[in-house]
């Protein structure tokens, strides 16, 4: 069975119970205990990120990722469907992490737990535990951009830096690091601009997303580097771009907590 990258609740409900499906819930723990999709296993978001104060949201090493993915029972025959209760940021950070380790069989539940529950699909409070296995994670550089990579590619015509923080963070009037502002040349599209609030936070229709991106010069011919404060919100943007067929996309783990806390990096306001 082949599943789309963005899967609708109605389509997923027909597939629940298939042996190849692994439903991964990245909601708040208290939400998962109350209700979740039938068969879904819980994944604590903190296990997907590494912290070196004041830098947050860094990528864990291969050993930690191997432990996490092995504990989920991930194998080559698995197809992962991830969701959360907050618009898809945590779920997409997980899917981006899978991309980083070269695991390609994954989908995002469009609208997440909200769309699923609000539209009358079955939920349960039964706790499900994965069949633990062994997974050997190997970090691939393709989906990754670090500080040095960005410094080396500043102001290149074929590279676009997409800052998905709020306009206030972008302008430097709201500061969550040693310095405020944005990476020189970066364009700002707040991550929630991709969401349709009238349809349970699903991604907006493809034509609307393309129009939004191209209005800001984010075109498929460019390499696009997404970032926010930690690469949580911008992971959602990464998956959105992937769903539109953008082929040259990278995420910046650590994001502004890395850039803004390094006094040697250039910034604009």
Locate all alpha helices (DSSP H) within 106-254, ordered by sequence: 112-118, 147-153, 167-171, 206-215, 233-243
Residue 124 lies in a domain: no
pTM here?
0.98
- For residues 215 and 254, state if they share a domain: yes
pLDDT confidence tier of residue 1, bands split at 50, 70 and 90:
confident
- For residues 174 and 70, state if they share a domain: no
Q: Domain containing 82: what range?
A: 6-118
pLDDT at 263: 95
pLDDT cut 70: percent of the chain above it: 100
Residue 264 lies in a domain: no
- For residues 114 and 151, state if they share a domain: no
What is the arithmetic mean of pLDDT over 133-158?
97
- For residues 113 and 162, state if they share a domain: no
- Count of structural domains, the chain: 2
pLDDT at 97: 98
Residue 92 among the catalytic residues:
no
- For residues 35 and 100, state if they share a domain: yes
- For residues 249 and 163, state if they share a domain: yes
Residue 139 lies in a domain: no
As a whole number of angstroms, the distance between CA 96 and CA 103 comes to: 10
Q: Strand runs (DSSP E) across 17-126, as ranges?
A: 21-25, 41-42, 50-52, 55-58, 79-83, 106-109
- For residues 103 and 204, state if they share a domain: no
Residue 133 lies in a domain: no
* pLDDT 10s digits, 63-101: 999 999 999 999 989 999 999 999 999 999 999 999 999
- For residues 156 and 254, state if they share a domain: yes
Question: Which one of 118, 136, 170 terminates a domain?
Answer: 118
Return the CATH number at 165.
3.40.250.10
What is the β-pairing status of strands 106-109 and 79-83? parallel
- For residues 26 and 103, state if they share a domain: yes
Q: For residue 253, is pLDDT > 90?
A: yes
Residue 73 lies in a domain: yes
Burial 140-157 (b: 16+ CB within 10 A, else e): eeebbbbbeebeebeeee
As a whole number of angstroms, the distance between CA 248 and CA 267 comes to: 24
Catalytic residue among 81, 228, 240, 241: 228
């Amino acid at each position: 069975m082949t599943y789309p990258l963005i899967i609708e609740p109605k389509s997923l409900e027909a597939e629940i119970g298939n042996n190849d499906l692994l439903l991964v819930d990245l909601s708040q723990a208290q939400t998962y205990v109350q209700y979740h999709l039938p068969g879904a296993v819980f994944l604590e978001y903190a296990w997907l990120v590494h912290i070196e104060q004041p830098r947050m949201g860094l990528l864990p090493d291969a050993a930690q990722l191997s432990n996490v993915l092995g504990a989920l029972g991930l194998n080559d025959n698995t197809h992962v469907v991830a969701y959360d209760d907050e618009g898809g940021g945590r779920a997409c950070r997980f899917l981006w992490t899978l991309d980083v380790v070269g695991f390609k069989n994954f989908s995002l539940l469009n609208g997440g737990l909200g769309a699923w529950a609000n539209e009358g699909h079955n939920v349960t409070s039964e706790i499900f535990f994965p069949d633990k296995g062994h997974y050997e994670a190997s970090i691939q550089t393709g989906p990754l951009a670090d500080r040095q990579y960005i410094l080396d590619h500043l102001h290149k015509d074929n590279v676009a830096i997409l800052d998905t923080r709020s306009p206030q963070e972008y302008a430097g009037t709201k500061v969550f690091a040693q310095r405020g502002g944005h990476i020189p040349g970066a364009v700002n599209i707040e991550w929630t601009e991709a969401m349709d609030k009238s349809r349970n936070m699903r991604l907006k229709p493809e034509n609307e997303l393309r129009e939004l991106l191209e209005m800001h010069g984010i075109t498929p011919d460019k390499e696009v580097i997404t970032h926010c404060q930690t690469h949580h919100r911008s992971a959602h943007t990464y998956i959105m771009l992937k769903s539109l067929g953008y082929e040259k996309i990278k995420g910046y783990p650590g994001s502004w907590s890395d850039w803004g806390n390094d006094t040697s990096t250039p910034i604009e306001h």
